């Protein structure tokens, strides 16, 4: 019943966008007062290393997150993310309404253990810096402090609110993706808190992300002496080069599909005809049917070989699926834009990005549900680099936006609309 009820609610969002209520002055004042505590939380999170797979470091962040969630009245479960280590935290809170909502973000970073000692949290008049400050510890802080603002106001308007913090996003979420998809299938809406992924300095949310697949091309040949008997060999490197050129047109610009070969390996010594060679590539796509097309076309293409008696194999490994253009996300984005424009007098842009996020695991293209909105974290830039930063002026608007979204998505209209 929840999905049908919420589909009806979403159909009203465009009307809401034209008649948004005025600013909640109490909430805005509380969000402004929360800024100092927010920065303390952010500093605490950034100053704990949490590189993907660094289990001891991840455990320290996990403990901090669990403590904060329990303080907010959530019941917390730990789910091992076995691919790279660490636990996915799943926290639930029963509220007074009917809508089921999920907030999610990862707590791992791309930075190895010991990075914080060299480059701890710092800030100036306009920005804060540090490993993972934007991607995505700022998003964690937005979730925790938005929930804190609601608790201070005595509000828990949702039916069930689920918070998911996973430890392996930066390497594909292979240990948490099935759990994310399962939990998301039970929700009316999912809000994801990656940082802004649009133009530098632009306040934006993300409505479309590309999916990611990993391409592998392997050639087996036959070794021989490169000077004494080259004709007896079957040069795997030459065949690999031939196949790479043939496979260069697997992308589809009209559909936004790309396949770029990024790693090539082959040969052992200059005087040996190489008996093996391999390449790896990166495939990005919007249309979920592109996996089958690329696989089928690649198998046909590699049948044409230049070096006889070599064996050629092509395969794709599925990574994150896309968050494709869809009405539910568009309507949710319209609500977010309305809140920003009519309650904060600010502009909120909509971004479509070539990178993949866990939002792709949350959305089901077969059902078109749940409504998923990405990049509700802080405005920032230079992610995954030593210059990663967030804009301090984005803290209060993002706290206000998240809190208002939760209120609107689980408010009185959600409780009264019932397709039955």
- What residues are labeled active site? 108, 169
Angle at 203 between CA 201 and CA 207, to 5 degrees: 125
**CA–CA distance, 177 with 362 (Å, rounded to integer):** 9
**CA–CA distance, 249 with 41 (Å, rounded to integer):** 48
**CA–CA distance, 35 with 391 (Å, rounded to integer):** 12
Query: Are the C-beta atoms of residues 372 and 50 closer than 8 Å to each other?
Result: no
Query: Are the C-beta atoms of residues 396 and 248 closer than 8 Å to each other?
Result: no
Residue 44: partners with Cβ closer than 8 Å, 6 or more residues away: 64
Which H or E element spans position 419? none
Query: Are the C-beta atoms of residues 373 and 192 closer than 8 Å to each other?
Result: yes
Q: Tokens 């470091």, residue?
A: 57
**CA–CA distance, 68 with 87 (Å, rounded to integer):** 16
For every residue of 30-77, DSSP letters joined together read HHHHTHHHHHHHHHHHHTS--BTT-HHHHHHHHHHHHHHHHHTT-EEE
Strands (E), 221-256: 224-225
Reported as half-sphere exposure (CB side, CA atoms, 13 A), residue 230 has a value of 9
Query: Are the C-beta atoms of residues 193 and 398 closer than 8 Å to each other?
Result: no
Sign of the CA dihedral with 283 first, then 289, 295, and 300 last = negative
């Amino acid at each position: 019943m929840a999905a049908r009820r919420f589909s009806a609610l979403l159909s009203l969002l465009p009307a809401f966008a034209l008649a948004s209520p005025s600013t909640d002055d109490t909430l805005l004042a509380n969000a402004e007062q929360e800024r100092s505590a927010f920065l303390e939380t952010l500093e605490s999170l950034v100053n704990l290393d949490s590189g993907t797979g660094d289990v001891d470091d991840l455990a320290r962040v996990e403990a901090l997150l669990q403590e904060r969630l329990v303080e907010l009245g959530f019941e917390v479960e730990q789910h091992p993310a076995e691919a790279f280590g660490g636990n996915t935290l799943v926290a639930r809170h029963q509220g007074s309404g009917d809508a089921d909502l999920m907030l999610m973000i990862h707590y791992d970073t791309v930075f190895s253990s010991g990075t914080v000692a060299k480059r701890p949290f710092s800030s100036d008049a306009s920005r804060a810096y540090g490993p993972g400050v934007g991607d995505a510890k700022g998003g964690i802080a937005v979730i925790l402090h938005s929930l804190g603002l609601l608790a201070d106001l005595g509000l828990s308007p949702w039916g069930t609110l689920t918070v998911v913090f996973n430890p392996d996003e930066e390497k594909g979420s292979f240990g948490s993706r099935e759990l994310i998809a399962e939990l998301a299938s039970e929700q009316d809406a999912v809000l994801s808190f990656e940082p802004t992924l649009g133009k530098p300095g632009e306040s934006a949310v993300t409505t479309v992300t590309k999916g990611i697949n990993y391409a592998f091309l392997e050639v087996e040949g036959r070794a021989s002496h490169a000077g004494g008997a080259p004709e007896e060999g079957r040069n795997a490197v030459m065949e690999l080069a031939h196949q790479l050129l043939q496979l260069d047109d697997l992308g589809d610009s009209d559909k936004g599909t790309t396949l770029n070969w990024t790693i090539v390996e082959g040969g052992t010594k200059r005087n040996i005809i190489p008996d093996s060679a391999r390449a790896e590539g990166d495939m990005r796509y919007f249309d979920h049917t592109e996996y089958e097309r690329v696989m089928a076309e690649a198998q046909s293409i590699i049948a044409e070989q230049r070096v006889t008696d070599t064996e050629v194999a092509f395969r794709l490994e599925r990574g994150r699926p896309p968050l494709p253009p869809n009405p539910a996300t568009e309507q949710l984005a319209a609500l977010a834009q309305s809140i920003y424009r009519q309650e904060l007098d600010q502009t909120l842009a909509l971004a479509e990005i070539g990178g993949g996020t866990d939002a792709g695991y949350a959305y089901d293209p077969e059902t078109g549900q749940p409504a998923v909105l990405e990049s509700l974290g802080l405005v920032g830039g230079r992610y995954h680099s030593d210059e990663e930063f967030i804009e301090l002026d984005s803290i209060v608007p993002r706290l206000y936006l998240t809190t208002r979204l939760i209120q609107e998505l689980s408010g009185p209209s959600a409780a009264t609309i019932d397709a039955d």
